[in-house]
Structure 1
Amino acid sequence: MFLFNRKTLGKAAFVIHCVVVQFLAGAKESLAQITFEPLGSEVTSAFRHFDGFTGQYRLVEAMTGGVAVLDYDGDGDEDIYLLSGQDLDGEPDSRKTNALLRNDGSNVFVNVTQTAGVGDTGFSLGVAVGDYNNDGCPDIFVNNYGRNNLYQNNGDGTFTSVAHELTSDLDAAMAAGCCFLDRDGDGDLDLFVANYVRESFPHKTHVYKGKPTYPSPLRHKAERDLLFDNLGDGHFREIGRQIGVGTRASRSMGVTTFDYEDDGDLDILVANDAEENFLYANDGSGNFEEVGLLAGIALDARGLPQASMGIACLDLNGDHRLDLYMSSYSNEFAAFYENKGDGFFDDETVRSGGVAFRNITWGIVAADFDNDGAVDLYIGCGDLDDDQRADVEGNLVLWNNHRGGFKELPQPAGGSTRGVVGADLNSDGLVDVVCNNSSDLPEILINTSKSVGGYLDVRLVGTACNRDALGSRVTLQADGYRAIQQLTSGTSYQSDGSRLLHFGVPDAAGGDLQLTVHWPDGSTQSEISVTRNRCLQVIQRARPSDARK
């Protein structure tokens, strides 16, 4: 006979509750299914990436290239801009340029590079998209090995190169990631440009274990990063060291901007290769101080630098703070830095279920791929030389298990991926993925996952701030649901993602949706009773003081 009293019954109920919760969580994980269907070569063959390989194993060959999505023609569809390398010896080959693929709907993409005038013939690595002149048309910056390029959107489907507006003393630097931001709140987008190393030609080929291979980046001199101030008249001026940016040289890779301490301005995060990461904290006036070590993201939990590559900014654990995920070299942990608040982060990679991936991890997309209300990750994998590339096992999806960790969902083997971005290319409410593969065709991956909830896409238009509304923080909430995102430029590895903020809304979210926008100028705007499963455009309303101007 078993005798129960109130105390033992309480313990039994607690044990049963724990078992049920664990069972349900395990069942939910077993049902996790995120799938993508690649478009055929008849679509993607309009572009093939070229890495400039000549057999001399120049480091720059292994690092290209990024990818961006933008609605360049204003038709509501996300178009794709792909970067390519170039011949490193002799004159540029006009057949090996960057490419703009226009989205014509129904998964049809047309190469319009020549007519649009964006066929940059430099050796391209990083790309950023931003409306730097506030005319309502997205412009394109290309970060090259050598002379960089800035394409001004003419508003008629064509661009004009205005590269002469971006001069510096580092035109021979090997480029990296880049991003637009309004550093000083004047309503104009400034430009942050990261650099990797200074690589001189000709060079001596590195040999390891009797075979030629790419050298360590530590064999090359690091370069400083740059910040170009937008003067508001179509001209830029490089002022990095004057405002605390680029005072120390580093081997920069991916970059992003976000408000890490929630003080209303944008800070700059730089993922550095084989040395400590940089976090440039904005003091509110547009000046910066490097605080990566103090904030806890310069080094990993062991106190060691990693070979950081790409960056994703996401609220992994649902505490409404922006956390960080950084890709890294093969057999190293891809690091997860949890935002603890008050400007501090902890390396929680192991606790979140992180693993050391066999291949080098490059680009990252943070998005709710199955609309269950939690942000997942898509990670591009690839290696450096042909022997390593043969062992690439495919890219990865990390499904958010709703408990502060991930479940790995391997994907079919593809190319040796570098830049990766996400966007809803076919307007079906699911985030698709674009991969730029080294020396290969790109992959346009259409999300075929079962949507387990609804969604809301949000497009912001600034009027009293920069027109792109970069730096805005958006909160979406309902009964039992609250999510937060920040609109920024620069993401992944040397890439730039969609300006549409995608929120997956779980079916369990009850009542009306309420959306609140905290604009970069400090104003707040709320939309009540927002309808799900749509794209909502929010135009910044003028303050009473603005209306009188």
Structure 2
Amino acid sequence: MSLWFTWIGLAVAVEPNAPQDVEAAWGVPRDTPAWAALALDLDGDGLIELATVTHAPMYYGRMGADQRFTAAQDSPWGEQTADRHGMTACDVDRDGDFELIVASGGARGRGGNPAELWERIDGKWVNLGPDLFGVTGGARMRGVSCVDLDGDGDAELYFPAVGDPSPDMLLFRDANGRWTDEAEARGLSPSGDSVGGSFGDLNGDGRLDLVRLMDNKAQVLLQGPDGRFEPAQTQPDQSRVRDFALFDVDNDGDDDLWLARAWDAWDAARDGYAQLHLNKQDRDEVIWKLPKGCNAVQVRLQGTADGAELELLTMDGPIKVQGRMLASERFGSRPEGETGLYGWVDVEQRLLHIEAVGMQGGLFLGLACKDSDAVPKLISADIDPVKKELDVGDVLLINDGTGAFRPAPYSLPPEIQGYNTEGVLPFDRDLDGDLDLLLITGFSPGDVTNGPDFLLDNKGGGEFVLAPVWAMPPEEAPLEGHVGVVTDLNGDRYGDTIVFNGHHTKTLAGEAVSWQNPGGGGQWVEVRVFDAGGKARSLSAVVTVAPDAAPKQERLSNPSPGWRSNGNLAGVFGVGASKRIIVTVTWPDGETVTKRFVKPNTVVNVTHP
């Protein structure tokens, strides 16, 4: 049974939809968390599977004929709760079926188990990772990407990693089926912590380049003729980047870069409990205002850190898990030290400072007045020590065609500024040929307790406005949004969304929400590209779609290009009101196939000759 069907596009008015309870809408448990998510047909039965991984119990559900998900009995993980920080679907053995590749996250500063490779054998998911991916054992991975880097038709796997040391891994498979790590030989051994990995030809030389997060900044690496990656001469200099999207925002044939940025601390519920992201390369500071009558503060610490002990150093001695600080001269100065977590009180201004230097990780802080019912108020988060202001706000960078990225020549919507953007997902929500954006926000330290997610429409050329079809409810459910997935849940080729709570903790608990695209009058063409023989989906062919009434578009053929989120729309191109489309596919070996007079709302299969 297949959920896909062909339909006739009509120019119709659509009403705005608000995000809704994901359990009521699709049957997915509302408390489902995720660090990575997939929503596509994994087992080839025509039905969508939804899979999430995190450090909490994972979810694996299958959509039925009633378009609702139910927990599948053949879940790869069962009730396991091991820490997992990345997942992708990839046909690694090139037999035409997806395998699941899962990155191990490690726990509390330690490395994790080897990466997982789940293959369906006799109708069951079997983990072949311990035997095949032994080289990955002990690494703290932060994502996984499947790509064909050298154009030979085989899949390579890229695992970014954090910790000390930080061994990013790039696995190649030899003729005997053995996986070997070539990251160091190809210039991908980082000097810091790296997260994520998106591939594309950034400078037009026909080779795939890489963008990853390195110590909370985007790093651009260009692949040379020898297969080595070298940092581009011009690098984005924005810090505090939490996620990024590499996509062609202006349809000029070059991938551009959206940087999702976030403040480094927030007290979501205004209850004295806050989360602080620790960045090794800069100073992270949060400041609370002590209310009148609050002269003794109970401090609680919980979290993970690399680079120093997780203890708060004060002039009165260290606080390891919990302890007390006083609004007195006894705590009135910062302890000496170049690396660590430091706390002190400005008695005159009644400001309690906590500063992290040279530390990487995440920290939960709880402050409670011991002699008052009042609550300390978080008043600043990671103030720039030079500008004395918060350095926040998402950034859109345009590729000049050489792999150098510069700020877009127009302003981003003012409504999105001042929020912690944790995730960004490009998709053509109205099928007009321009890629739009879903922005996923976490809690914000401003006046809004629950940061709303945003859907942005691309007006063409990369100028974004708030989408009129996205309506926010008067009161959004508490949601520490972390990752989402865009997929077609009802078979109309319009992208629907699910946004998951990332942490699954009491302090930052939230419910997953979904948004159903109301559709409209746009049309589409879906291009599926296969290697010679027509079995395995091509990973690095260039697909060019030229409609007669919509922008010309170009993408890689990879059906699962994301490093932590993939849906079933990677090969779907919006063509607006076009009547005829030209589809051209070019493989790395130079072979090209062109199909002319393609009609809208059809699936086109293109096989390497």
* Counterpart code for 1:528: R
- The alignment partner of 1:173 has SS state of coil
> In the alignment, which of 191, 199, 204 is matched to residue 180 of structure 1?
199
Cα distance change, pair 489–195 in 1 and its aligned pair in 2 (3 A):
farther
C-alpha distance 356-518 of structure 1, shift in aligned 2 (>3 A): same
Distance 1:77 1:431 in 2: 23
2:518 paired with 1:468: no
Report the residue type matching 2:480 in the other structure: S
What are the residue-to-residue correspondences of 1:186-265 with 2, within 5 Å?
A: 189=208, 191=210, 193-196=212-215, 227=222, 229=224, 231=226, 237-238=228-229, 240=230, 244=233, 254=243
Q: Distance in 1 between matches of 2:89 and 2:137?
A: 17
Kindly, what percent of the aligned residue pairs are identical?
A: 20
- Please state if 1:378 is matched with 2:378: no
CA distance in 1, matches of 2:530, 2:426: 22
Secondary structure class of the residue paired with 1:244: coil
Equivalent residue runs for 1:137-156 within 5 Å:
137-145=154-162, 146-152=166-172
Of the candidates 445, 452, 473, which is equivalent to residue 520 of structure 2? Answer: 452
Contact 1:425–1:432 (CA<8 Å) still a contact in 2? yes
Instruction: Name the structure 2 match of 1:92.
Output: 111
Counterpart of 1:140 in structure 2: which amino acid? L
Deviation at 1:133?
Answer: 4.3
| Structure ID, larger Rg | 2
Deviation per CA, 1:82-128: give whole Å up to 9, x if none: 55532244x5344xx76667799xxx996847478567652222433
Q: Say whether 1:356 aligns with 2:416.
A: yes
Alpha-carbon separation, structure 2, partners of 1:85 and 1:381: 22
Cα deviation, residue 147, structure 1: 1.0
Tell me the number of residue pairs that the alignment of Structure 1 and Structure 2 aligns.
401
* 1:136 counterpart residue number: 153
Structure 2 equivalent of residue 49 of structure 1? 55
- Distance in 2 of aligned mates of 1:99 and 1:132: 21
Equivalent residue number for residue 573 of structure 2? 503
1-side partners of 2:571 and 2:606: how far apart? 11
The match for 1:487 among 551, 556, 559 is 556
Residue 596 of structure 2, aligned match among 528, 535, 538: 528
- Following superposition, the deviation at residue 196 of structure 1 comes to 1.4
Query: Could you list the per-position Cα deviations for residues 119-166 of structure 1 after superposition, in whole angstroms to 9, with x for gaps in the alignment?
Result: 76522224332112434343220110111122346799x883525655
Deviations 1:160-192 (CA, angstroms, capped at 9, x unpaired): 352565576955511134333457877664555
TM-score (norm 2): 0.48
Which amino acid counterpart does residue 502 of structure 2 have in structure 1? S
Q: Which runs of 5+ in 2 are unaligned?
A: 1-10, 33-48, 57-83, 264-388
Sort the Cα spacing of 1:72 and 1:223 in 2 relative to 1 into closer, same or farther, 3 A: closer
2-structure distance, mates of 1:436, 1:137: 32
**1:374–1:262 CA distance, 2 compared to 1 (3 A):** closer
Alpha carbons of structure 1 residues 435 and 173: separation in structure 2 relative to 1, 3 Å: farther
Match of 2:144 in 1: 127
Match of 1:439 in 2: 503
Corresponding residue of 1:477: 547
Amino acid at match of 1:30: E
Cα deviation, residue 474, structure 1: 2.0
Equivalent residue, structure 2, for 1:409: 471
Cα 1:167–1:515 shift into 2, 3 Å: closer
| Matching of residues 260-409 of structure 1 within 5 Å | 269=257, 271=259, 333-335=393-395, 346-349=408-411, 353-356=413-416, 359-369=419-429, 371=431, 375-383=435-443, 391-393=449-451, 395-398=453-456, 405-407=465-467, 408-409=470-471
Separation of aligned partners in 1, 2:392 and 2:221: 29
Secondary structure at the aligned position of 2:105 is classed as: coil
Query: Secondary structure of the equivalent of 2:144?
Result: strand
Q: Deviations over 1:459-507 (max 9, x none)?
A: 34689xx96346x3623314x444524338899996575793312344x
Larger helix fraction of residues: 1
In structure 2, relative to structure 1, the CA distance for the partners of 1:531 and 1:399 (3 Å cut) is same
Task: Tell me the equivalent position of 1:30.
Answer: 15
* Corresponding letter in the other structure for 1:456: V
| Residue 515 (structure 1) aligned to one of 579, 583, 596 | 583
Q: TM-score, normalised by structure 1?
A: 0.53
2:192–2:215 CA contact under 8 A, matched in 1: yes
SS in 1 for 2:415: coil
Contact 2:431–2:575 (CA under 8 A) maintained in structure 1: yes
Distance 1:482 1:377 in 2: 17
* 1:503-531 CA distance string (max 9 Å, x none): 2344xx25333334577899976422224
SS at match of 1:355: helix
CA contact (8 A) 1:432 1:446 kept: yes
CA distance, structure 2, for counterparts of residue 255 and residue 168 of structure 1: 22
Whether the 8 Å contact between 1:455 and 1:503 is mirrored in structure 2 is: yes
RMSD: 5.8
Give the whole-Å Cα distance in 2 for the aligned partners of 1:369 and 1:249: 28
